[in-house]
Amino acid sequence: MAKQPAKKRTTRRKGSEKFGQKRLDVRNAMIKDIPGIANLVRRVYEDMPAYTHGEIRGQINNFKEGCFVALLDDEVVGYCATMQLAEALAFQDHDWDEITGNGYGSRHDPTGDWLYGYEMCVDPKVRGVRIGRRLYEERRALAEDKDLTGIVFAGRMPNYRRSRRKVDGPQDYLEKVVEGKLHDPVLRFQLANGFEPERIMEGYLPEDKASIANAVMMVWRNPYVERDQPVKKRIPRGVEAVRVATCQLQARQVADYDEFMRHVTYFVDVASDYESDFIVFPELFTLMLLSFEEKELSPVEAIERLSEYTPRLRDDISEMAMRYNINIIAGSHPTRMEDGDIHNVAYVCLRDGSVHAQEKIHPTPNERYWWNIKGGDKVEVIQTDCGPIGVQICYDSEFPELSRRLADEGARIIFVPFCTDSRQGYLRVRYCGQARAIENQCFVVLSGNVGNLPNVGNMDIQYAQSCILTPCDFPFARDGIAAESTENVETLTISDVNLADLQWARAEGTVRNLADRRFDLYRIEWDEDGKHPGKPRPRREPLGPAHPGGG
């Protein structure tokens, strides 16, 4: 006999509610909520590692519909995160790191038929407003809206350690809690919200000392869906078009800073006329500013001189982005940091007026030796009006773990400003850019310098063929190249890319590099927020003359 649906579907509470003088609001999580969520998690789980900002950013970017926050007078007091998974994956043996993609929620599968919950926390100091129940209602409403088979998660059993002498293992503990012979606040709350225990999952979360790493698989089945067999939802082949321009810039002698900026403005103007959403310039494109120096400067003097332009350059590019209504990835520029070190920094100036900075993580041997450039210590996605993006400066594209971090945080386009003096150097960047596009199922945009500069020691010759690269699968260009410029010619190359194709490829493509990772075998661990003081790198003298040696 078929199950009879309940009389009324779960409904979300609209807007906010007042409790005395306080206002409670439950809604989808936003990027701006990340600091508040991180603080909440630290308060709730004092005995376990907190999320990094990058992990929370990935959770929201990978499935914004499935992440909810509860705010009491604008303070985050509750958070829950979910993702869609196929039944076979959701119900097989797994641990928390494996199922969540190391905490980023990157295993979200829009074709999956189950909603998997992997985070639920409520501020213990907030009582009497049923925040946990409200977040569960949001999950249930989402599952019903999407006609999913149900919700599954692995729930904690925090009173197990203190009660272990009274029971014969975690299964016996679970049975006694269900029978009411023992009390566990988390399990009782989940049972009261209509979830049924499926089985014990040992070793689910080793950091959970109170549960001795155990968890209970809890299941709620959608009463509005009757299925004998699991189904796989399909991804509509929609259109989410973004127009990208890559500027292959010729190094030339300029009379002063203003002439250099007029040259940059020309290409920004053209890209804007073509209604591009992004334009990317090459690495170290500001080396042209050395061409009007009275004498050729030593490498150290040259970098010091360039760093003096940083505030003016950043402000002018930002103003240009707003004036021409285009997001500008301003190549890279040597910048003196607060600690006195020189870093190679890409400034990303968005058309809303915000300015972001991505430092080069891996200076090349030549950069380290001749220019004493130090590597940065953080890589993270940048939120734009076209979705999250990443930037990797030249040599960084040859380290796949950086791109994987960006993909886990939700990046769908990775911009690679580069500066290479030879075809060999260029091809290192090009081949690695293509590999990053394939393994992360994202678009990769390369922009390089051409030409040469007299009186500038590190710009003797340049080689580039800028391009816009795609994954290699049916929705994309035949050769994995959306567009490419002619070699060593100054030009602007423009192409439309469809971000919706990436979602389809990640879920239903011929290969699914992101989804098919073996989280049970390997993973990359990052320091808190991707920051680490590191150790000084030796300035080994490179073989050959002073030049960027990019790629």
Residues designated catalytic = 283, 360, 394
At 221, the amino acid letter reads R
Which residues does 522 contact at the CB level (< 8 Å), separation at least 6?
A: none
Pairing of strands 278-280, 327-336: parallel
Best CA proximity match to 429, nearest among 404, 463, 401: 463
Q: What is the DSSP letter of 46?
A: T
Phi, psi of 8 (to 5 degrees): -140, 130
296, two tokens: 């050729």
Secondary structure of residue 273 in the 3-state scheme = helix
Number of Cβ atoms within 10 Å of the Cβ of 43: 15
Q: Are 331 and 280 in contact (CB under 8 A)?
A: yes
Element (H, E) at 329: strand 327-336
Q: Are 115 and 82 in contact (CB under 8 A)?
A: yes
Q: How far apart, in whole angstroms, are the C-alpha atoms of residue 336 and residue 310?
A: 8
Pairing of strands 382-384, 387-391: antiparallel
Q: Are 258 and 288 in contact (CB under 8 A)?
A: no
H-type alpha helices, 257-309: 257-273, 299-307
Q: How far apart, in whole angstroms, are the C-alpha atoms of residue 365 and residue 549?
A: 8
HSE-up (13 A, CA, CB side) for residue 98: 18
